[in-house]
Amino acid sequence: MQMKRYWQNGFSIVEVLIAVSILSLVLAGLYNLFNSQVRSFEAQRDVSITQRDIRASLSLLERDIRMAGLGVPRGNNPVAALQDGIAGDPAAPDSISTNFSPGPISYLTSSIVASPGTDNLIWVASVTDFRVGDPINIINNDDNSLIGAYIVNAVDTVNGQLSLNADPSAAGIDVGDFVARDFKTIAYSVALNAGTGRRELIRNDGTVQSVIIDGVVDLQLSYILDDGSELSAPADLSDIRLVRIDITAQTIKQAAQLGGQQIPREIVTIVPVKNVRL
């Protein structure tokens, strides 16, 4: 009797090992490709966030420089102070301080003071946003000189009147003179954060100190004067007409995939000082 032979089709252990090895190589290649794409995406996102933050910080700094001098009487420059640092030295950045009134700003519609010595009522074009307790300046519209500094005791929204703590009539007020909340000095400087080890651009209005952006590598400011010359530290701050801002900041993350190197980004802009009244 002849026995039937049954053949079993399959893979040998060697073939399986070879297949697993090939599959492992393919998967490793795919992983490296995927990981490279992820790292590239993270790096580009990091750069985009840094550029966004630089633009946002510049927007705030630009606004304060453009506002410099608004509601500021003669004798107080729009650019209050500056410090010239060392270009390229993160430990010695520039700094700048500006003066401007945060508002409200209105003007007198009458040269008369009602109830002088008692209520000291003055008429203004708009009392909107004036508040009891506001320190205000009355500024001569012809020569930008300070007529006097006062405190608002009451606000009459019906008659458009402000009650002051003193009588301004003796100072010689006139129709068209400006009434403005007392100006503030806004200071921008760079400081090292001991916790993160990164430098931060700080905005200080005398009441609130805010971090505008971190990772600042350098902040350089130069000043274009009324004669067209450009200096890093002009002697006469009243000559300043334009401010050139050059800010460089690093990416937020220090990613291992980039060899531990942060990516710097730099933005330069020129801002006019619009409220110069000599």
Q: Which DSSP string corresponds to 118-140?
A: TT-EEEBS--TT--TT-EEEEE-
Instruction: Specify the pLDDT at position 1.
Output: 52
State how beta strands 264-272 and 230-231 pair: unpaired
Assess whether pLDDT exceeds 60 at residue 7: no
Domains in the chain, start-ordered, CATH in brackets? 40-99+185-272 (no CATH), 105-181 (2.40.30)
Quick one: 3 exposed, middle or buried, by C-beta within 10 A (0-12, 13-18, 19+)?
Answer: exposed
CA-based R_g, the chain, Å: 32
Q: How does pLDDT run across 232-254, given as a tens digit for each residue? A: 999 999 999 999 999 988 876 55
What is the H or E stretch that residue 277 is in? none
The stretch 159-163 carries a mean pLDDT of: 96
Range in 50-54, 217-221, 234-238, 269-273 the model is least confident about: 50-54
Assess whether pLDDT exceeds 90 at residue 25: no
Tally of CB atoms within 10 A around 227: 7
Question: Which residues of the chain form beta strands (DSSP E)?
Answer: 79-83, 95-100, 105-107, 121-123, 135-139, 146-156, 161-164, 178-181, 184-192, 199-204, 209-214, 216-225, 230-231, 240-250, 264-272
Instruction: Specify the pLDDT at position 234.
Output: 94
Assess whether pLDDT exceeds 70 at residue 37: no
Assess whether pLDDT exceeds 60 at residue 100: yes
Q: Looking at residue 103, what DSSP letter applies?
A: S
| CB contact at 8 A, 189 and 95 | yes
The stretch 185-208 carries a mean pLDDT of: 92
Residue 189 pLDDT class (50, 70, 90 cuts): very high
Whether the model clears a pTM of 0.85, i.e. scores above it, the answer is: no
Assess whether pLDDT exceeds 70 at residue 21: yes
Instruction: Specify the pLDDT at position 168.
Output: 94
Share of the chain above pLDDT 70, in %: 86
Assess whether pLDDT exceeds 80 at residue 256: no
Assess whether pLDDT exceeds 80 at residue 69: yes
Coil, strand or helix at 82: strand
State how beta strands 199-204 and 135-139 pair: unpaired
The stretch 171-200 carries a mean pLDDT of: 93
Angle (CA) 19 34 41, round 5° = 175
Instruction: Specify the pLDDT at position 255.
Output: 46
22-26, 121-125, 246-250, range with greatest mean pLDDT: 121-125
